[in-house]
Amino acid sequence: MTHAEQILHDVFGYPEFRGQQAEIIDTVAGGNNALVLMPTGAGKSLCYQIPALMRTGVAIVVSPLVALMQDQVTALTVNGISAACVYSGTSSEEIRRIADEIMAERLQLLYVAPERLVMPRFLQFLHQTNISLFAIDEAHCVSQWGHDFRPEYQQLSILADQFTDIPRIALTATADTATRHDIQHYLNLTEAPVFISSFNRPNIDYQVVEKNNGKKQLLQFIRSQMNGQNGIVYCLSRKRVEDIAAFLCENGLTALPYHAGLDWHTRSLNQRRFTQEDGIIVVATVAFGMGIDKPDVRFVAHLDMPASIEHFYQESGRAGRDGLPAISWLCYGLNDWVLLRERIQLAERDATQKQIDLQKLDSMLAFCETAACRRQLLLHYFCEDSQPCGHCDNCIDPPQKFDGTILVQKLLSCVYRVGQRFATGHVIDVLRGRDSEWVHRFGHQQLSTFGIGREQTMKEWRMVVRQCVAAGYLNVDIANQALQLTESARAVLKNQQQVWLRPLKHDKTRTSHSNDIWLRTEREERLWQQLREWRKKRASQNNVPAYIIFADRTLQDLVQHPPANVADLNHIYGLGESKIKNFGQEIVELCQQWAN
């Protein structure tokens, strides 16, 4: 084994490197810079943690969230690595203790927020310190084109200016071409090698459904496919978070709300329960999750459409970080798109940035409306080609498109006849010949398009509207929600463009096998449950999340290959020397007791 491979096995308990990990580690350990684009769950952290253990001095890791830093430090400590973090809530006494550890060269990794790192006093301290490397995690935060822009990240160029001989590695899971260029520019990494791993998360199954009573759809999804599993449900507003969490609890599930409007104690308690207990569902705004390293999240559900494919990819990627099967479930409607457009237009950002955000939102709607392989479209967005995956919802149950040209012409004509001044509901009322007060107030019962769409239901017409918006034939005015024709609509109305639509009647009741399907015998089931109970107890005693003790994948390996003695644990996934020393004998006895 090389030195890096020895650390991988002895400290972290992994049998081999994945993808480009070995090459990246060799680059940074050798004193060179690197830019790493690697999907969530692919092992980004090891790309700087192992070089930090190979080089002398302390590694300085820049991280944007306190929860993320604390999680990493806890995981490293359990693996026998000396690590600490400093943030605004760190006491003066703790800071002095950490400084003493660094000066005595006993600390191997120090996590800091970007705001603290660029403070003159902290920089002065670093100049007196033996630093092994700088790691800039979540590097997409440096770019205004990215989805989590943090202006403090742009100040990190100071590292290249003041610490010219110390290697720097920037890492991110999501970055389009413009964001990559910004990372290289602002962090002075234009000459550094760029390592781009596949963005494919093959263990995640993508499912997208049109919104039709989203609460009930969510409940049906969880009960039929994810009952008893850990999950995250994302909503657009705090009020909706509270409503959905209460609804799930009323229906017998353990659901906890999380948003910035809750007090700090409640948020901390809910996050703690989610990380340390099994079968917990967190209902949250998108503020939740970026700092959560929990590997055994079995599903991420979006009850409202995300603002961009980058957001969707990062948030859905919080499922299945352990590599075991997981599901990304998305429920969307045209109202989501309209609301997000309004937010973008009202935001205090320059016109160019707003236009980029609107384009990203349109790409997200196109992802929802596509009849093609969802994984293929997702990867194409990140400039990666692939074949149809065979196991997203569209691959398993391909939508049979039909010629909807006449339907679309009826819709576009009606939008034109009402003066492009009315919202979707009114346009559909006219199409269906509904004798409403508003129809009569404006005399729209006299229009040639009144009643020409009686054969379609309100729901079906809404699906046609949504597909026309996604295809670029219609736009929605932010001020009054009015449907408006685009230039592309002209060709359709003149019979110069054929339009193919997704099915308007689609009752998809797909279910998935339980993630515990690998448990083949009663003995395996019994041992699996006992190991989970042992892990929960140990996590509580050590005041750490359960997955920090042992990941689900480690428990699965123990069930499938029960150890006869402590030496056998060296071949179990995720068990390094520290964990074997602390828990090995207990695990062997437990496995022997329940494996027979």
Q: For 165-215, how does the pLDDT look when each residue is reduced to its tens digit (9 = 90+)?
A: 999 999 998 777 888 899 999 999 999 999 998 889 999 999 999 898 999
Mean pLDDT on 350-356: 82
| Percentage of the chain exceeding pLDDT 90 | 57
Mean pLDDT on 32-54: 93
Mean pLDDT on 334-363: 86
Quick one: CA dihedral 33, 28, 178, 290, positive or negative?
Answer: negative
Mean pLDDT on 566-585: 92
What confidence score (pLDDT) does residue 288 get?
A: 67
CA dist 569 and 587 (Å) reads 9
Residue with tokens 């993320």: 68
3 state DSSP class of 579: helix
Q: Is the pLDDT of residue 518 over 80?
A: no
Mean pLDDT on 214-218: 95
| Full set of structural domains in the chain with CATH | 3-196 (3.40.50.300), 204-396 (3.40.50.300), 402-501 (1.10.10.10), 522-595 (1.10.150.80)
pTM of the predicted model as reported, rounded to 2 decimal places: 0.78
What confidence score (pLDDT) does residue 4 get?
A: 94
Res. 540 pLDDT band, cuts 50 70 90: confident
Q: Which of 42, 28, 367 is nearest to 198 (CA)?
A: 42
Q: Is the pLDDT of residue 513 over 70?
A: no
What confidence score (pLDDT) does residue 192 get?
A: 95
What confidence score (pLDDT) does residue 502 get?
A: 87
Mean pLDDT on 125-146: 90
Mean pLDDT on 428-445: 92
Pairing verdict, β 194-196 and 34-37: parallel
Q: Is the pLDDT of residue 302 over 90?
A: yes
CA dist 469 and 483 (Å) reads 9
| Percentage of the chain exceeding pLDDT 70 | 95
- Residues with Cβ < 8 Å from 128, sequence gap 6 or more? 103
Supply 219's token pair.
Answer: 């409940």
Mean pLDDT on 395-403: 89
Min mean pLDDT across 13-17, 111-115, 541-545, 579-583 is at 541-545
pLDDT in tens, 521-531: 778 888 888 99
Res. 146 pLDDT band, cuts 50 70 90: low
Using CB atoms within 10 Å of the CB of residue 507, give its burial: 0 to 12 exposed, 13 to 18 middle, 19+ buried: exposed
Q: Which of 208, 245, 253, 210 is nearest to 229 (CA)?
A: 253
CA dist 366 and 309 (Å) reads 10
Mean pLDDT on 392-402: 90
Supply 442's token pair.
Answer: 């404006």
Q: Are 255 and 244 in contact (CB under 8 A)?
A: yes
CA dist 158 and 161 (Å) reads 5
Angle 458-471/424-431 helices, nearest 10 degrees? 120
Mean pLDDT on 453-472: 90
Res. 511 pLDDT band, cuts 50 70 90: very low
